[in-house]
A and B are shown apart, each in its own frame.
Chain A
Amino acid sequence: MSSDSFIELKNVSFAYGDRPILQDISLTIARGKLVAIMGGSGSGKTTLLRLISGQVLAQKGQVLVNGQDVGRMSSRDLYQHRRRMGMLFQFGALFTDLSVFDNVAFPIREHTRLPESLIRDLVLMKLNAVGLRGTEALMPAELSGGMARRIALARAIALDPQIMLYDEPFTGLDPISLGTIALLIKKLNDALGTSAVMVTHDVHKSLEIVDHVYFVAGGKIAAEGTPDEVRHSSSPWVQQFVQGEADGPVHFAYPATDSLAQAFGIKGETA
Chain B
Amino acid sequence: MNALLAPIRRLGALSINAIWRLGFISRFFVAILLNSGQSLLRFRLTIREVYFAGVLSLIIIIVSGLFVGMVLGLQGYNTLARFGSADALGALVALSLLRELGPVLAALLFASRSGSAMTAEIGLMKATEQLEAMSVMAVNPIARVVAPRFWAGVISMPILAALFNVMGIFGGYLVGVEMIGLDAGTFWSQMQNNVDLHYDVVNGLIKSLFFGMAVTLIAVFEGYDATPTAAGVSSATTRTVVTSALVILALDFVLTAFMF
Residues on A lying within 8 angstroms of B by beta carbon are 53, 55, 79-80, 82-83, 85, 87, 89, 91, 93-97, 106-107, 110-111
User: Which B residues touch A95, using CB under 8 A?
Assistant: 125, 130, 133-134
Residue B8 CB within 8 A of the other chain: no
Counting contact residues on chain B (CB < 8 A from A), the size range is 10 to 19
With A96-B124, A97-B121 known as contacts, the answer to whether A106 contacts B137 (CB < 8 A) is yes
Query: A97 to B138, alpha carbons, bound, how many Å?
Result: 19
Query: A79 to B136, alpha carbons, bound, how many Å?
Result: 9
CB distance from B236 to the nearest CB of A (A): 17
A-B contact pairs, 26 of them (CB 8 A): A55-B132, A55-B135, A79-B138, A80-B138, A82-B137, A85-B136, A87-B136, A87-B137, A89-B132, A91-B128, A91-B129, A93-B128, A93-B132, A93-B133, A95-B133, A95-B134, A96-B128, A97-B121, A106-B137, A107-B137, A107-B139, A110-B137, A110-B138, A110-B139, A111-B138, A111-B139
**A96: contacting residue among B125, B134, B137, CB under 8 A:** B125
Query: A130 to B5, alpha carbons, bound, how many Å?
Result: 62
User: Which B residues touch A82, using CB under 8 A?
Assistant: 135-138
Query: A106 to B145, alpha carbons, bound, how many Å?
Result: 13
User: Which B residues touch A110, using CB under 8 A?
Assistant: 137-139, 144
Query: A92 to B72, alpha carbons, bound, how many Å?
Result: 53
With A93-B130, A95-B130, A96-B130 known as contacts, the answer to whether A55 contacts B136 (CB < 8 A) is yes
User: Which B residues touch A96, using CB under 8 A?
Assistant: 124-125, 128, 130
Query: A110 to B144, alpha carbons, bound, how many Å?
Result: 9
Decide if A53 touches B128 in the complex (CB within 8 Å). Answer: no
User: Which B residues touch A111, using CB under 8 A?
Assistant: 138-139
CB distance from A35 to the nearest CB of B (A): 19
* Chain B residue at smallest Cβ distance from A82: B138
User: Which B residues touch A89, using CB under 8 A?
Assistant: 129, 132-133
CB distance from B6 to the nearest CB of A (A): 25
Task: Give me the 9 closest cross-chain CB pairs, A-B, nearest first.
Answer: A93-B133, A82-B138, A93-B129, A83-B138, A110-B139, A87-B136, A79-B138, A107-B137, A53-B136
Query: A111 to B132, alpha carbons, bound, how many Å?
Result: 17
Q: Which residues of B in the span 65-100 have a Cβ within 8 Å of any Cβ on A?
A: none
* Chain A residue at smallest Cβ distance from B134: A95
Query: A82 to B139, alpha carbons, bound, how many Å?
Result: 9
Q: Which residues of B in the span 134-162 have a Cβ within 8 Å of any Cβ on A?
A: 134-139, 144
CB distance from B202 to the nearest CB of A (A): 36
Query: A264 to B251, alpha carbons, bound, how many Å?
Result: 55
CB distance from B142 to the nearest CB of A (A): 12
User: Which A residues touch B134, using CB under 8 A?
Assistant: 95
CB distance from B213 to the nearest CB of A (A): 24
